[in-house]
Amino acid sequence: MNKETTKNMVNRTRVILAAIVAIFMLLGVRLFYLQIQTNAMFTDRAERNTLRFVEVEATRGDIVGADGYVYATSKPSYVVTLAYIADKEEREKAIVNLAGCMEKYGYSEEDIREMVTGNARKFEATEIASLPWGLEAMEMISELSERREALPGVVIKTVPIRSYPLGTLAGHIIGHTGPINESEMENVDPEIYDMNDKIGKSGVERTYEIFPAEDDYYGLKGNKGIQKYQVDAASRPLQEMDFSIAPIPGDTVVLTIEHNLQTTLEDAMDAVILDVYENESDKAGSAAGVLIEVDTGKILAMASRPTFNPEDFVDGLTQEEVDYYYRNEMRPEINKAVASAYPPGSTFKMLTGMAFLENSNYSPNYAINCTGAYWEKPHIACWNVHGQTNYFEAIAQSCNSYMQFAGQIAGIDNIAGLATEFGLGVDPGLTDLPSVSDGFQANPENKFDLQESYLNMRLNRYKRQYEEKVEDINQQEITQEEKETLIEKAEKEREASEKWANGIFAFEKTWQAYDTYNTSIGQGMNNYTMLQLANYTATLANGGTRYRPYLVERIESPQGELVWQSEPEILQEVTVSEETMALTRRGMKEVTEPGGTSYYLYYDFPIEVAAKTGTAQTGRAGDDKSTEFHGLFVAFAPYDNPQVAFAGIVEYGRHGGSSAGVIARSVFAEYFGEEDYKDVNAANDLNSPLVEE
């Protein structure tokens, strides 16, 4: 080896050694940086890689009655969720393995995959199952825990689930909760709700879901918390750690409802419906009633039939329950006390009478001769031949002829104006429930608008029929001349139909004398809810002050502090004189006295009751106008110092006194502590000795 070769080898060796030294120096510097200078940062990052932050559902607030009975509360349940897994293979593996564990509990692989793919918020966990605390839940959770290694992303947590301890009692008032849907998500704060949340769907559950407050909100919803979990590399939870943010339970909503009154109202209603079904009509099954304080507007009891059980909705409806609630012509999902408007029948007659006395010089002692039908066309019949009848007797015996005379003298404008003052056909003011009806008031303007809408519907139908004919003609294999002839014929037919309809409705849109007669006795277009009739009766009872009706007394925080308090609110002071109202109340008192239409029910009742019976044509297609009627009843008590007012209806109950009147007596007996009169005796109470209106 010559010197030149040796020199080159030495130089190469030096370069290699220098490179090795440089590399080790760089590694040393990097090691120093990682282990010394940035140790704290990477330790923190490593720890955070082992932590997951999971939202914790807050316990929904309770709904309780005025006397402490709990109508809605929460109980613990297990919820199984599957976290978002970015890797498709891992996600599919998790779905298959999870289905293997849960198929026996009714959750198939297809069901789970559909839930995961249907989650609109892809990066949020998908709720797979929710089971109330019990044996089945414990078995499922145990099996999932045992197979934890094969279930990446599966998290089991304990969350509150809604419970309704009193079942159907006040069910329509309480309402129910359910999974939030996409349209609801568009109208809520996304920082408060996500797609796995439950939300109030009806009743108080919906109305008192959430209310904005300064920098916060209150209501049944509550505030979610954040829980830390330590997880392994597959995102499986290893340890539950402290809350980052503790959940705050929802507020408690305290109702005005009193348990014993509510129970009495519903029990009496069920007994009467059963009797009517067995003895009057197999169409019976629906009813509604309201008991209200006359000097505050506070609703003490409210019920609707058929029954509504919020508990049915907690875990989703079965097919049988879907059919019951949504394929049932009696519409059990509707609170008929506030959302269904009915013809008031003779319960409207006090308004006609007051308008008559206020707008004429007639004395209440003035008598007309009832011969069994009104003397003006169309000679609307009275239910009896009453002979000489004055104002008090007309109310007590419910004389149609007298009230048609009174209506003719008063005029429809005065009757309708007074009805508005007493809250009929207008917003009743109840804000504690959704879907509260305004009813429909019979007056010239409303009749015109209603008939105009009917006319437009008919004209639109003619237009559609014409367009369909033209389209059909154009598709036929005929000459253009033949098509034009057929189209011209179709157009003439349309013009003739429109001319006929305009002619008919020109009459129908105009207020007629018989409209006043029908309105005066509570028939025709009059349609009101039981809430409206109850408050109208309360307004008359208290001397003319119409209060806003309310169902919620107050809202309390989880610590029992007052958040919000309801107060009586005056909506209207009527213009009727106290003298006229006093005369009308006297007539109502005579309804429960000898000769009155509900004397047989109240002749021995220890509290003086002022009332009015009502029998209203159903107005439903296919019903017999001469035999099928709804039974209505309004009343207040005591007569000389009114405290409470009632309004009720029993569909197909025929007579007001022997159907809704029986319910009223039972509720009054409970309210005044007269236990001997509370129970419904079908053999005696439901068979009137009088032939009622």
Q: Can you give the CATH number for the domain in which 230 is found?
A: 3.90.1310.10
- Minimal CA–CA distance to 571: which of 593, 549, 553? 549
Residues 189, 63, single domain; the answer is yes
Name the amino acid, one letter, at 521: I
| Domain limit, last residue, from 224, 255, 286 | 255
Domain extent at residue 16: 3-37
For residues 50 and 233, give the distance between their C-alpha atoms in angstroms, rounded to a whole number: 7
| Domain limit, last residue, from 452, 481, 510 | 510
Structural domains counted in the chain: 4
pTM of this structure:
0.84
- Mapped to the 3 state alphabet, what secondary structure does 505-556 carry? HHHHCCCCHHHHHHHHCCCCCCEECHHHHHHHHHHHHHCCEEECCECEEEEE
- With 0-12 / 13-18 / 19 or more C-beta atoms within 10 angstroms meaning exposed / middle / buried, residue 496 is exposed
Residue 523 lies in a domain: yes
Dump the DSSP string for 634-651: EEEE-SSS--EEEEEEET
CATH of the domain at 351: 3.40.710.10
Beta bridge partners of 614: 632
The residue among 687 and 102 whose pLDDT is bigger is: 102
For residues 441 and 449, give the distance between their C-alpha atoms in angstroms, rounded to a whole number: 12
Percent of the chain with pLDDT over 70: 88
Render pLDDT for 81-128 as a digit per residue (tens, 0 to 9). 887 777 777 888 888 888 888 887 778 888 888 888 777 666 677 888
| CB of 540 closer than 8 Å to CB of 422 | yes
pLDDT for 576 beyond 70: yes
Beta bridge partners of 200: 177
| CB of 583 closer than 8 Å to CB of 363 | no
Please report how the helices 259-279 and 660-671 are oriented relative to each other, as an axis angle in degrees rounded to 10: 160
Residue 693 lies in a domain: no
Render pLDDT for 435-473 as a digit per residue (tens, 0 to 9). 999 999 999 999 999 999 999 999 999 999 999 999 999
pLDDT, the chain, mean: 88
Q: Give φ, ψ of 572 to 5 degrees.
A: -160, 140
Residues 243, 386, single domain; the answer is no
pLDDT at position 28 is 64
Render pLDDT for 332-354 as a digit per residue (tens, 0 to 9). 999 999 999 999 999 999 999 99
Residues 186, 321, single domain; the answer is no
Residue 42 lies in a domain: no
Residues 479, 569, single domain; the answer is no
| Domain limit, last residue, from 510, 543, 566 | 510
Residue 46 lies in a domain: no
Residues 621, 591, single domain; the answer is yes
Cis peptide bond N-terminal to 306, omega within 30: yes
| CB of 635 closer than 8 Å to CB of 610 | yes
pLDDT at position 240 is 53
Tokens of 239: 């340890």
Residue 620 lies in a domain: yes
Residue 44 lies in a domain: no
Span of 163-172, 243-252, 432-441 with lowest mean pLDDT: 243-252
pLDDT for 199 beyond 50: yes
Residue 691 lies in a domain: no
For residues 170 and 165, give the distance between their C-alpha atoms in angstroms, rounded to a whole number: 11
Residue appearing with tokens 């002071």: 573
For the chain, helix, strand, coil in percent to 5 are 45, 20, 35
For residues 322 and 354, give the distance between their C-alpha atoms in angstroms, rounded to a whole number: 47
Residues 497, 531, single domain; the answer is no
For residues 243 and 56, give the distance between their C-alpha atoms in angstroms, rounded to a whole number: 9
Residues 309, 368, single domain; the answer is yes
| CB of 419 closer than 8 Å to CB of 425 | yes
Q: What is the pairing mode between strands 63-64 and 237-245?
A: unpaired
Residues 237, 269, single domain; the answer is no
pLDDT at position 691 is 45
Render pLDDT for 254-304 as a digit per residue (tens, 0 to 9). 999 999 999 999 999 999 999 999 988 999 999 999 999 999 999 999 999
Residues 470, 543, single domain; the answer is no
Residues 294, 200, single domain; the answer is no
Dump the DSSP string for 556-572: E-TTS-EEEE----EEE
Dump the DSSP string for 339-390: H--B--GGGGHHHHHHHHHHTS---TT--EEE-SB-SSTT-PBPSS--EEE-
Beta bridge partners of 555: 253, 564
Residue appearing with tokens 């049915």: 312
Residues 207, 338, single domain; the answer is no
Residues 310-336, mean pLDDT to the nearest whole number: 93
Residue 45 lies in a domain: no
For residues 551 and 211, give the distance between their C-alpha atoms in angstroms, rounded to a whole number: 17
Helices (H), strands (E): how many in the chain? 23, 23
Band (243; pLDDT cuts 50, 70, 90): low
For residues 358 and 364, give the distance between their C-alpha atoms in angstroms, rounded to a whole number: 11
For residues 318 and 315, give the distance between their C-alpha atoms in angstroms, rounded to a whole number: 9
Q: What angle do CA 251, 255, 257 make, to 5 degrees?
A: 160
Residues 419, 301, single domain; the answer is yes
Residue appearing with tokens 């009114």: 642
Q: Which residues, including other chains, have CB under 8 Å from residue 440's CB and lie 6 or more apart?
A: 341, 425, 446, 450, 525, 526, 527, 528
For residues 238 and 240, give the distance between their C-alpha atoms in angstroms, rounded to a whole number: 7
Band (225; pLDDT cuts 50, 70, 90): confident
Q: What is the pairing mode between strands 629-637 and 610-617?
A: antiparallel
